[in-house]
Chains A and B, each alone.
Chain A
Amino acid sequence: MAGKILIVDDEPNIVISLEFLMNQGGYEIEVARDGKQAVEALDKFQPDLVLLDVMLPYKDGFEICQMIRENPKWKHIKIVMLTAKGREMDINKGLALGADAYITKPFSTKELLEKVQEILNNSSNDA
């Protein structure tokens, strides 16, 4: 089943590739290029899942992740951290903050799609 995906990344070419991939998967897409836009989009777009980069202007991905998890009205939103920060420490931090998955860049397009589908399916089963 399809869902709404918010892509948060400041690297234009990566955004293009993610847009293409998520379109292929049949999802509804919105793009945010920095932390501020991302927070605005959360309310406006009401995504089911966020593809979240870490290194972002204004507010980094970890902060956004924490914000989403602290706010009950965004409880259902799934978070996939998608970042070039690949140290163990960063991964643990992301998962500890409540991300549902942590994928390091460069990523396999197939795996990313599968992961997104899997998470969204699980959440719809829960519901």
Chain B
Amino acid sequence: MIQNWAIISTSLLYLGVLFAIAYYGDKRAQENRSIISNPYIYSLSLAVYCTAWTFYGSVGRAANTGVGFLPIYLGPTLMAALWVVVLRKIIRISKKNRITSIADFISSRYGKSPILGGIVTVIAVIGIVPYLSLQLKAISISFQIISTHPGIHVQGEPVFHSLFDDTTFYIALILALFTILFGTRHLDATERHEGLVAAIAFESVVKLIAFLAVGIFVTYGLYNGFGDVFTRASRIPELEKLFTLNKEVTGTWGDWLWLVFLSMMAIMFLPRQFQVAVIENVNEKHVEKAVWLFPLYLFVINLFVLPIAFGGMMHFSDGSVNPDTFVLSLPIVEKHNTLALLVFIGGFSAATSMVIVETIALSTMFCNDLAMPILLNLKFLKLDQRKDLSSLLLFLRRSSIVLVLLMGYFYFRFIGEYFSLVSIGLISFCAVAQFAPAILGGIFWKGGSRTGALAGLIAGFIIWVFTLPFPSLVQVGILPERILTEGLFGVGLLKPYQLFGLQGFNPISHTLFWSMLFNVGLYVTISLYSKRSGIEQTQASLFVDIFKYTGGVEFSPTWRGTAPVKELHSLLRKFLGEPTANRLFRDYARKRKINLKETFEVDADFVQFAEQALAATVGSATARAMISTVVKEEPLSPDEVKSILDETQQVIAYSRKLEEKSRELERATAELKAANQRLQELDRLKDDFVSTVTHELRTPLTSVRAFSEILYDNTDLELSQRQHFLKIIIKESERLTRLINQLLDLQKIESDTMDWNIERIDIVELVKDAVQATSQLMNEKSITLDMNVPDQPLYINGDPDRLTQVMLNLLSNAIKFSPEEKGLITINIAREGDQVLVSVKDNGIGIRKEDQGLIFEKFRQVHNPVDGRPSGSGLGLAITRQIVEYHQGKIWVESSPGLGSTFFFTLPLASEMAMETSPESSEQPQE
């Protein structure tokens, strides 16, 4: 047994932590350093879906129906997959229209209808308050169990003390205080409650940890893992049937489908889910991660439901303990007080988070969509003559919170005891499911009308009341038993559980079937046949085509004409308070660059702005009603609205096009810049090339001119000297010609316009011919030649003239650099795989290591350290390399200064196949 004081002080301590977190969250938000602006906190806050019902009730339901507890979690998982389409759209619409609650959303969609907002609020309050009380009941029961066990076997029903002795009552009050403190800091209900959301996310973590802790304790502490629990349970006949999808136990497939559908609607349209998912959403993008994070949370928290259920059933096999309390009872009877306390706090967090968020959502609706419109319409209150209603509004908001919580508390005290945890939850789900047609239809179908939505909602709600809460009044004993058996007023078709004679459904599926049939049916049919007002059509377009109209262009299609500044200001002052109104006006005037002091009337855009500011505080319906009292002109006709919307769309399309154009321009500019740089680079290269070429051309020309002039001016020269000079002129002219030819060759190769005559040639023969051609030069310098070539021909495919040019070039280089008399040139030809390797070796001056790579480049001559510059053009080796590479070969040099150089080049041999058809092999008899 755990002492009362310990439990109470732990609870209070926990609440204290919540206050601290919420305070910190708000403080950070004020400093613009949000702690909730990330998809993880967002997903955790969505887990407010898991209430005490999940925490305690899932195990209870699993104990009765086996895997029958799952549909409630399958639905949201399925729905999450659709979030990117549905939820994102709802969020975008809500941000754009400054929606404050689900009632406001529906009201705004159908022409800012106050009646619709009121009806939705009534349905939500009546539908949700029992659910709220369920949470208080869970807190109360868990408190009793943990404080009285193991004295007596507890059935899990609350024992009531007087109001002032009841801990639950005080907890409800503390929760009210928390909600008021962190939920009504701003009058603007569209402002996010960052601290509150942070606290909710924290609670989601706590309940998850607590549930996992007890799950692990049961599965691995009391038993030996999942396998052990299930094996043992399967030996007990009553438990064994829970394993199968047995119709009587887990429900029919139909029941499953209805439950999945129901919970799909619940995750979207429960006021608290709408609050955290839409109103408190910081960034639309967070939805993308929540799509898998939230289902993951559901999966983890449900992991241990079955083991705990089976464990509990086996542990309390006499049925003395209500399965809804297994989570808590198991640690208690095992005397694990700390774990029990943790579980208690886990359940407490599940309950409180739901209560807080639901209260905020309900009280906003209650205040904005029910109380405010009614109060403003009560003429005798003369509210419209009061100067400042903002404090009244705040008071109203706060009292709504207390009121909603008290309703929950008293429901729990006087009626709640007759229901188990799960049934109340499902009844609430059915109530909010009635919002589905109006919302989903409203965001995807422009044809949905106000009257259609109204009729559908009312019909669905009446059927819900008649088939779910109504018969439970019979169980309580308030209404006579015969209504169930004989029908209302004795009419057999009006039996609450067999409406219009429908049988074979469980109560939930039954209600859902009839209410949805009527709701959707009336919504669609009446919408098709009703005439819609201008503002209805405007809002319909705005909602359905939200992504078309939010392209960064502001527009204000609902009002034409003007409003007096003074009256607009006093209206805003009335609801928002003087400072806020002044600030809004000042900011707006600055943005639009207008001087309000000199302006008497403002235009439609300003009016639209004022309406939105007002809507954020009092809801769109009231805001609309208030604004219409000060605006002079009539609202626009539907056609005009349509044309304005079209225009807006065109402007958006146009601005998109412009953006695209400017992006294209930027791209083009960048490309131009790059191309220009490349051109400049090429230009510089060309410049260098031209400069080098002219230099090379000028050099022989210099000698030619100088000697020509000398010969011309000196007619009396000796014959031998004359001959010498003339020979120089001839040589230099030849050099000039060679240079020009080589330049042309190089240009042809580089520009790929060279005519290559590729044929099958014997490289050995070609080398021998080239050597023959240079033998005269070698003889002149008395150079010794060493030929080392194969006897067999080696065939390659190539241009014989060009390859001869290669050989001649290498040979003449070798001759040029070889010493006279002692010169030795060695020529090698060898086959290496599918290549032939040719080398030309000399014993000349050699080439320095650092120059060996350079010599194959254009105009890169290596200066001869002894004789000055060589008399080449500087193009020979460049051309040689180009020719060899054209033939898919490689060329390189190995050398050490003073010891000579060896030039190597390779060429691919012609294939064997070709060999067979070559003339040499054609001697074979042919077939």
On A, residues with C-beta under 8 Å from B are: 10-14, 16-18, 20-21, 24, 33-34, 55, 57-58, 84-87, 104-110
Contact = CB atoms under 8 A, between A and B. Distances in A.
Contacts of B709: 108-110
A17 B706 contact: yes
Nearest to B709: A109
Interface residues of B, number: 27
Which of B698, B699, B707, B709 has the most CB atoms of chain A within a 10 A radius of its CB? B699
Contacts of B704: 106
Which of B707, B714, B868 has the most CB atoms of chain A within a 10 A radius of its CB? B868
B698 A86 contact: yes
Contacts of A33: 867-868
Contact of B703 (A11, A21, A34): A11
A127 to B, nearest CB: 31
Given A11-B703, A13-B728, 8 more contacts: A11-B869, A13-B731, A17-B707, A34-B868, A55-B869, A105-B701, A106-B701, A106-B705
A86 B702 contact: no
A85 B868 contact: no
12 contacts: A11-B699, A11-B703, A13-B731, A17-B707, A34-B863, A57-B869, A84-B695, A85-B691, A85-B695, A106-B698, A109-B710, A109-B713
A13 B736 CA distance: 14
B694 interface: yes
B552 interface: no
A109 B725 CA distance: 15
Contacts of A110: 709, 713
B221 interface: no
**Nearest 4 A-B pairs (CB), nearest first?**
A57-B863, A84-B698, A17-B706, A10-B868
A125 to B, nearest CB: 28
B732 interface: yes
A106 B869 CA distance: 18
A107 B705 contact: yes
Contacts of A34: 863, 868
Contact of B699 (A21, A87, A105, A109): A105
Contacts of A24: 714
Contacts of B701: 105-106
A16 B726 CA distance: 13
A107 B713 CA distance: 15
B57 to A, nearest CB: 92
Interface string B731-773: 1100000000000000000000000000000000000000000
A17 B710 CA distance: 8
Given A84-B699, A105-B698, A10 B706 contact: no
A108 B864 CA distance: 29
B817 to A, nearest CB: 15
A16 B863 contact: no
Contacts of B702: 11, 14, 17, 84, 105-107
Contacts of A17: 702-703, 706-707, 710
Contact of B706 (A14, A55, A86, A104): A14
A37 B869 CA distance: 14
Contacts of B706: 14, 17-18, 21, 106-107, 109
B732 A13 contact: yes
B20 to A, nearest CB: 77
A73 to B, nearest CB: 27
Given A34-B863, A57-B863, A16 B728 contact: yes
A85 B699 CA distance: 10
Contacts of A85: 691, 695
Contact of A21 (B710, B868, B869): B710
Which of A16, A84, A86, A104 has the most CB atoms of chain B within a 10 A radius of its CB? A84
Nearest to A16: B728
- Chain A interface helix/strand/loop/mixed: loop
A59 B699 CA distance: 19
A110 B704 CA distance: 15
B151 interface: no
A32 B416 CA distance: 118
A87 B863 contact: no
Nearest to B705: A106
Contacts of A84: 694-696, 698-699, 702
B925 interface: no
A14 B82 CA distance: 89
B723 to A, nearest CB: 13
Contact of A86 (B694, B705, B707, B865): B694
Contacts of A12: 868, 871
B869 A10 contact: yes
A87 B694 CA distance: 10
A14 B735 CA distance: 14
Contacts of B732: 13
A124 B387 CA distance: 110
Contacts of B696: 84
B476 to A, nearest CB: 108
Which of A105, A107, A108 has the most CB atoms of chain B within a 10 A radius of its CB? A105
Given A84-B702, A105-B698, A107-B705, A20 B710 contact: yes
Contacts of A21: 706, 710
Contacts of A106: 698, 701-702, 704-706
A102 B713 CA distance: 24
Contact of A14 (B699, B713, B863, B865): B699
Contacts of B863: 10, 34, 57-58
A13 to B, nearest CB: 4
A109 B519 CA distance: 113
A61 B868 CA distance: 14
Contacts of B698: 84, 86, 104-106
Nearest to B707: A17
B699 A57 contact: no
Nearest to A112: B706
A85 B698 CA distance: 9
B828 to A, nearest CB: 32
A84 B706 CA distance: 14
A87 B703 contact: no
B423 to A, nearest CB: 97
B686 to A, nearest CB: 14
Nearest to A11: B699
A33 to B, nearest CB: 4
A37 B385 CA distance: 111
Interface string B133-171: 000000000000000000000000000000000000000
A78 B702 CA distance: 22
Nearest to B703: A13
Nearest to A34: B868
Interface in B794-811: none
Contacts of B868: 10-12, 33-34, 57
Which of A17, A20, A86 has the most CB atoms of chain B within a 10 A radius of its CB? A17
Nearest to B735: A13
A17 B713 CA distance: 13
A13 B698 CA distance: 13
Interface in B668-709: 691, 694-696, 698-699, 701-707, 709
B736 to A, nearest CB: 11
Nearest to B706: A17
Contacts of A108: 705, 709
B71 to A, nearest CB: 87
Interface string B495-529: 00000000000000000000000000000000000
Contacts of A16: 728
Contacts of A58: 863
Nearest to B713: A109
A19 to B, nearest CB: 11
A85 B692 CA distance: 8
A69 B731 CA distance: 37
Nearest to B694: A86
A22 B728 CA distance: 18
A13 B871 CA distance: 10
B796 to A, nearest CB: 39
